[in-house]
Structure 1
Amino acid sequence: MSNVGLSTNEIASLWTGYTEHSLYVQFLKYLLATVEDTEAEELLQDSLTLSERMVGEIEQIFINENVPVPHGFTDNDVNLKAEKLFLDGFMIPFLEHTLMVGTLAHGTALLTSIRKDIRDFFTQSLDESTTLFNKTMDVGLEKGMIVRPPQITVQPGVEYVQSKKYLSAFGNRPLSTVELTHLFGNIKTNTMGQMLCMAFSQTTDSEEVGAFMNRGMQISQKHAQLFAKEIRQSNIDAPMGSNSYVTNATSRVFSDKLMMHFMSMLSSAGQGNYSTASTASMKYDLTLNYQRLSVEIALYAKDGVDIMIKNGWLEEPPQAPDRNTLSNK
């Protein structure tokens, strides 16, 4: 235990990590209870071990530092005896997505932490998630479960932009590799979001949550189709993963609290992806599209937060004391 207290950055990163990985623990337990493919099972077990380690160590850090341990998610948020909701083809793309998000989060947490023990914790988490990501990619590629990005013939030589027409929404120039990278990545994340919304919508008994998930499914489908259209306009095939890895199961698997929080996490990641893509794209129409679609996600996410607040499902992050309230007592 350090003599220096945790900084706001460290508390925020640890609190977020605890909440998200306690969710992953319950989700992965269910996938492990239903998976049949042995290689996917091994990857899921490794991912569960990583999430359980993080939850346990963060809990101990908070106890040592007298920081309240979040409630997060528990065994009460999942029915491990429920029928199979996801086909085995879902498992590796799901791990690819979550490990990618986790690796970015661990890297950011490491770079914003000060204390050596916290930096060591996030360094270990980053190393483990990177190793597991590479292992998942290797297995997924061997099995044909990873959707590969487009391949193009690169123009010879180095060229410079000669005119502002390069930026124009009305120009006919082909997409750059940078723009293609973001379009492809956002197709994949929206395909994953579509599958999760589909699964959640058919296994909730709440009309409000079901309607929210159906709306999310429609948004994800629309966005993926828009991005695929942009790629095809450059005479490049748009790689599309399968969104049919959800079974016809309708029995309750996850709590509404867990499903709504998962969608909040996906929405947050989606907004971040669109912001990065908007900045990196040099065609004005792409930039405007990303900004317009970001607003749609933000409004959707806001409605999700409203549902969580109304039902008492949204935990408050640690915050500074309200000095005005204290001084008026």
Structure 2
Amino acid sequence: MEKISLTTNEIGTMWTQHVQNSLYVQILRYFTHTVEDEDTLNLLNEALALSISIEQNIRTIFQHEGIPVPNAFKDSDVNLDAEKLFEDPFMIQFLEQTLKAGLLAHGTSLMTSVRRDIREYFTGTLNNSIQLFNKCMDLALQKGLLIRPPSLTVQPDVEFVESKKYMSMFSNRPLNTIELTHLFENIKTNTVGVMISMAFAQTTDNEEVKKYMKRGVKISQKHVRLFGKTMEDSFIDAPMGPNSYVTNSTNRVFSDKLMMHFMSVLSAAGQGNYSTASTASLRYDLTLTYQRLSAEIGLYAKDGADIMVKHGWLEEPPQAPDRKNLFHS
């Protein structure tokens, strides 16, 4: 039977997932060493086992297909003896956000894959991620840590948009439930972003990285304020989750390479969230806000990439042959 080669989609998505899960492995290893709550420890151990499994399975596939396995992140990228940097509740919030990103990534990978064995692999990782996400949400509810979306009374009958004024940026109409959903979720993700940037800023001794992380704190805080004010203008309470789950420890925990790469992952996720929210919102002022903030994140991500290139921290994904050079050889 003729062997079917991996497609560019399959290689690209697995390469990305290998790198990101190797990063999560190191973060989760540190969490399991510093967590105090037993229920949270059990959940973290499951998440760690899933990330290790994904990393190892992709490594096996790449080795079998003769594709270079990315260097990604190693045990040397984390200091397990460092003092506790994050309080236990943050670890649950972290899992909630990373599992949401994982569900999206695994689903996209499944939809863009061709080979049956690769589709079966992504189906399995997606199902495992769904089960773990539900456990995470149940634990957050059980411990009173889940920030619930707002509840509101909606109109009793079906209504249709009667004029373009409904979408006008000068309209004072109340937010609809779809717009509220995206505002709420983006406040939550940026609140987690504030804490991660804050923790990274206080534990690095590289002044260039520290400055970059401080900038990340300010950007996330600004976005939280903008989204919160938009909700409050429609007399909807913005989510007020704690953003103080970072301890006062200044001991280095993660390598600068890991921290910078993780910020690039967060930036990419933020741009994706804003793009989705922009197309789903029917008020033009919201659309313009998301586009403007997305551009700000794009510039931040570009500056981060420049820092990683400068220090040799940015690994190249597999790429097509340089035909132009081949033609002249």
* TM score, norm. by length of structure 1: 0.99
Match of 1:202, SS state, is helix
1:166 equivalent in structure 2: 166
- Cα offset, 1:326, TM superposition: 2.1
- Cα offset, 1:240, TM superposition: 2.1
1:225 equivalent in structure 2: 225
1:280 equivalent in structure 2: 280
Whether the 8 Å contact between 1:184 and 1:238 is mirrored in structure 2 is yes
- Cα offset, 1:242, TM superposition: 1.0
Q: Distance in 1 between matches of 2:291 and 2:170?
A: 18
2:264 equivalent in structure 1: 264
Q: Which runs of 5+ in 1 are unaligned?
A: none
- Cα offset, 1:155, TM superposition: 1.0
- Bigger shift: residues 1-10 or 298-307: 1-10
Whether the 8 Å contact between 1:103 and 1:129 is mirrored in structure 2 is yes
Q: Distance in 1 between matches of 2:325 and 2:76?
A: 36
Render the CA deviation track for 1:267-315: whole Å, top value 9, x for unaligned.
0000000000000000011010000101100000000000000000000
1:116 equivalent in structure 2: 116
2:252 equivalent in structure 1: 252
Q: Distance in 2 between matches of 1:169 and 1:26?
A: 45
| Distance change >3 Å, CA 209–CA 127, structure 1 → 2 | same
Which residue type is aligned with residue 235 of structure 1? F
Render the CA deviation track for 1:111-140: whole Å, top value 9, x for unaligned.
000001111111000000000000100110
Q: Distance in 2 between matches of 1:258 and 1:327?
A: 38
Which residue type is aligned with residue 243 of structure 1? N
2:4 equivalent in structure 1: 4
2:55 equivalent in structure 1: 55
Whether the 8 Å contact between 1:187 and 1:240 is mirrored in structure 2 is no
The alignment's C-alpha RMSD in Å is: 1.0
2:97 equivalent in structure 1: 97
Q: Distance in 2 between matches of 1:52 and 1:211?
A: 32
- Cα offset, 1:89, TM superposition: 1.3
* TM score, norm. by length of structure 2: 0.99
Which residue type is aligned with residue 175 of structure 1? L
Which residue type is aligned with residue 152 of structure 2? I
Q: Distance in 1 between matches of 2:2 and 2:131?
A: 29
Q: Distance in 1 between matches of 2:75 and 2:15?
A: 19
- Bigger shift: residues 220-229 or 317-326: 317-326
Which residue type is aligned with residue 315 of structure 1? E
Q: Which runs of 5+ in 2 are unaligned?
A: none
1:79-158 alignment runs, 5 A limit: 79-158=79-158
- Bigger shift: residues 56-65 or 236-245: 236-245
